[in-house]
Amino acid sequence: MAGQQFGYGYDEIGNRRSSVRDGRVGAGTVNLLNQVVGWMNSGFANILGTAATNATVTVNHQLAERKGEYFCKELYVTNSAGAVWLGVTNLAVLSLGTDDLLRTNVGRLYVPPYNESRIDSWNQLVV
């Protein structure tokens, strides 16, 4: 099921060098002092949650994938030029004959830039 697949790769001393979520790879680079100096992030955001099994769930007006009560929607994010504050609206609709029951959640999700790097002398994040 989408949203539930994770994997990690480590170097010989146990530092995380890569991560995989639903087939999307993130990878890091280190310097000679074993400090992380860069990280490549995926341009996708996974929205996860639960709703009644007979409810229709959308995320940003796109139908979510369902498995029982669980739902997941992968959203593409254009983060190549920098970090993005992604607006997200979840809507669950439960049809009850003549009346519908609606539940909505609105918020924002921080998506880091595709490429992140650090200035070694100050250890500051450069976006």
99-115: pLDDT as tens digits: 899 999 999 999 888 88
Instruction: Tell me the C-alpha distance between 37 and 31, whole Å.
Output: 6
**Placement of tokens 């007006």 in the chain:** 61
pTM (whole model) above 0.85: no
Q: Is the dihedral of CA 13, 24, 22, 91 positive or negative?
A: positive
Give yes or no for residue 119 having a pLDDT over 90: no
9-61: pLDDT as tens digits: 888 887 777 787 777 777 777 777 777 777 788 888 889 999 999 999 999 99
- For residue 125, what pLDDT is reported? 56
Residue type, 121: S
**Measured over all CA atoms, what is the biggest interatomic distance in the chain, rounded to whole angstroms?**
67
